[in-house]
Amino acid sequence: MSTEKTVPAGLYAIIDTTYVAVDDIGEVASKILAGGCKTIQLRAKGLKAADKLRAARLLKVLAAKSGATFIVNDRVDIAMLSNADGVHVGQVDLPIKDVRELLKGVQIIGLSTHNIDEAREAQSLGADYIAVGPIYRTQTKHDAEEPKGTEVLREIVQSVNLPVVAIGGITLDNVDEVLATGARAVAMISEILLSDDITAETARIVERIEQIAKKG
């Protein structure tokens, strides 16, 4: 994992148990990491706590072997017990100051935001990075807000001094315009998890992002 206290630039892959069976989590993560992804997040809304912890501990080991960053969605306790590199929380989860107290300032804390006000508040509260979205319409979250588009994303990127992870409906076809806003990373779920060859698809995305970065 990078020693920088934020998520690496590039692809931020989310392993969502809506798409991945609990017994397949390790295999899927291994395929994503083999494709060159340097950040993986476990989003396991429907799993029992014991299964979440078991999966998180496995993903931490796999990520560490690949030099990748491992983030747990929502569950601060699971992040602590699995020694995850960080936790990502939403607007209705534990306040950042309480999360920071529990984590003793060691791990990365990310916060979901949807507008400039939330982004600025996240910065004032001490988030290490923010996620902004949904950028495009997405099928992953049925309760997602209306798409923000790249112009709103650009405004948010320019309004804060925090790394921004763009999320929501991002694919290989639109990643160029998303990264053109100055976002540090792009989160993808179904684009990777529903592909016929997860490792190859991940590698294609990583390569495309690297090409964009070289162009400046």
For the chain, the domains span 10-215
Residue pLDDT, tens place only, 32-58 = 999 999 999 999 998 999 999 999 999
Q: Which of 31, 38, 43, 52 is catalytic?
A: 43
The residue behind tokens 């990075």 is 129
Which CA distances in Å does 126 have to 150, 152, 202, 214? 25, 22, 31, 31
Catalytic residue status for 43: yes
**Residue 90 CA neighbour count, 13 Å, CB half:** 9
End-to-end CA separation in angstroms for the chain: 24
Q: Which of 38, 100, 112, 148 is catalytic?
A: 112
Q: Which CATH superfamily is domain 10-215 in?
A: Aldolase class I (3.20.20.70)
Q: Which of 54, 57, 120, 141 is catalytic?
A: 141
pTM, full prediction: 0.95
Residue pLDDT, tens place only, 121-169 = 999 999 999 999 999 998 766 666 899 999 999 999 999 999 999 999 9
Which CA distances in Å does 40 have to 8, 12, 16, 64, 67? 10, 6, 10, 11, 11
Taking the C-alpha atoms of residue 123 and residue 161, their distance in angstroms, rounded to an integer, is: 7
Taking the C-alpha atoms of residue 2 and residue 96, their distance in angstroms, rounded to an integer, is: 22
Longest CA–CA span in the chain (Å) reads 45
Catalytic residue status for 66: no
Catalytic residue status for 190: no
